[in-house]
Chain A
Amino acid sequence: MPETKPMEGNHAVAEAMRQINPDVMAAYPITPSTEIVQTFSSFVANGLVDTNFVVVESEHSAMSACTAAAVAGGRVMNATSSQGLALMWEILYITASLRAPVILTVVNRALSGNINIHCDHSDSYGARDTGWLQIFGENVQEGYDNLIQAVRIGEALDVRLPVMNCLDGFLVSHSYELLQVEDDQAVKDFVGPYQAVNPLLDLSNPISVGPLDLWDYYFEHKRSQLDAYGPAKEAIIEVGKEFGKTFGREYGLFEEFMLEDAEYAVIALGSAAGTAKDAVEALRADGMKAGLLKLRAYRPFPAVEIAAALKGKKAVAIFDRAASYGADSFPLFSEVTSGLYTAGQLIPAVNILYGLGGREIIPDQIISVFRTLPSVAATGQPVDPVQYVGVRE
């Protein structure tokens, strides 16, 4: 029977993994995702799952083993953070290129240096071009729900791509919240049995994996991979709907919070989106037509859908929890405004850089940003859209 109980973000992810019962996990611990691997390894030791747990000597090896196990024909999971994800870099591209649907929970943590263990999105953002799908959760429940959905999304036959289940380090991973834990069998029924495509261990149908691919076919293979991201968008929507029907919590590419009739909007992802909801409610009570677009799917990026949802807004503030050094503005801003330009909607927009290395963000700060938006709307697009919130200057 489903039950509601207080649970930490990391434990919630491990609990979903126990219910999914993957074939292989090859992991190396790193704060703040260590607890996922640690908790899950106790499930393995206690015989609660059938998973083959591979102990490796680095994250590079972890992702190599995961990719190989997925290519061999298994359902594979893993978890990491920050430098761990950075060390996986070389293999991340290969996992996606081989269309191996590995599921990786990324507990978001700032990249060094200086060394920091707290939340920002520099690790996941840095991996945005690797070909992995990236789904961001706001809270403990979404970390649990998104992992279950990630299995179906990544394994969809017209998708076959690896998925990152991203959640904020400490803010979600180490916070206790009330979690609706679904029935074991219901989760197993939802994800279904694993269906391998061209598995390397199918000895009666031998294939070559990862051959040399030069000027003659490489471009065609990459072009073919690009065709998977449209279906991935569809899969996120379809699986989110089915999850809603099955468990009562529906998901999409993003969540619109009081957005439809809003004049001013904030766009954010991760736990800050929860903080922004408080800000929006406070401003609504105060008479301002404020709204929030909480992004869930960062890859594939729903540029067209976001532009449609923002149509008619007077000004927007786009929140980034990671810089892009040397760029005019930061990743989420660049991608949202690019989508607005393509859609012919030149809505004045500002880019808020906040929360690096775990610096807190509170509703009052987001309210202050909303309060500046009417003047942004009046004066038009600022030449320098970047503003900093929460840094001492």
Chain B
Amino acid sequence: MSHYAPDAKYQEMAPGGIIPQAGNAVEYNTGTWRLQKPYRRDEDCIDCLFCWVYCPDVACWTNGDPEKPSVKGMQFDMEHCKGCGICAQVCPKKCIDMLPEGAE
């Protein structure tokens, strides 16, 4: 188990409220907080990767290629994107739109 069970008792908690198991934020769904969702228009994207750099939730996916990283066609991790809109704000081509949550 990489995180506490939902019914974990207080006796099972690590002292100090720390999370002793590193890297489990991926298992915590914060995508439910979102009011707006980002959508990238790939035809205008120049792969500057600003959206990837600035995303506070590491919710901006790339193709994972260290030689030629690209965000085109990857869109966003909707389980962790909180809809903050920073990616849209920093995009030099203004090709990320913030759409109302629930829009197609």
Chain A residues within CB distance 8 Å of chain B:
97-100, 160, 197-198, 205-211, 213, 216-217, 219-221, 223-225, 228
Contact = CB atoms under 8 A, between A and B. Distances in A.
Interface of B: 4, 6, 8-11, 13-20, 22-23, 25
A139 B10 CA distance: 40
B10 A211 contact: no
Nearest to A221: B17
A205 B22 CA distance: 8
Contacts of B13: 217, 220-221, 224
B40 to A, nearest CB: 28
Contacts of A100: 16
A99 B22 contact: no
28 contacts: A97-B17, A98-B17, A98-B18, A99-B16, A160-B15, A160-B16, A198-B15, A198-B16, A198-B18, A205-B20, A206-B22, A206-B23, A208-B25, A209-B16, A209-B18, A210-B17, A210-B18, A211-B17, A211-B18, A213-B17, A217-B4, A217-B8, A219-B10, A220-B9, A220-B10, A221-B10, A223-B10, A224-B11
Contacts of A99: 15-16
B6 to A, nearest CB: 7
Give the most central of A99, A216, A220, A225: most B CB within 10 Å.
Answer: A220
A383 B40 CA distance: 73
Nearest to A97: B17
Given A99-B15, A160-B15, A224 B20 contact: no
A319 B11 CA distance: 38
B27 to A, nearest CB: 13
B10 A97 contact: no
A198 B20 contact: yes
A130 to B, nearest CB: 15
Contacts of B17: 97-98, 210-211, 213, 217, 221
A207 B15 contact: no
A344 to B, nearest CB: 30
Nearest to B11: A224
Contacts of B6: 216
A198 B23 CA distance: 16
B8 A220 contact: yes
A207 B22 contact: yes
A211 B17 CA distance: 8
B19 A224 contact: no
Nearest to A208: B19
Contacts of B4: 217
B58 to A, nearest CB: 14
A207 B10 contact: no
Contacts of A209: 16, 18
Contacts of A160: 15-16
Contacts of B19: 207-208, 211
A210 B22 CA distance: 13
B20 to A, nearest CB: 5
Contacts of B9: 220
A100 B18 CA distance: 12
A207 B8 contact: no
A192 to B, nearest CB: 20
B20 A207 contact: yes
A198 B11 CA distance: 17
Nearest to B3: A217
Contacts of B20: 198, 205, 207
Contacts of B15: 99, 160, 197-198, 224-225, 228
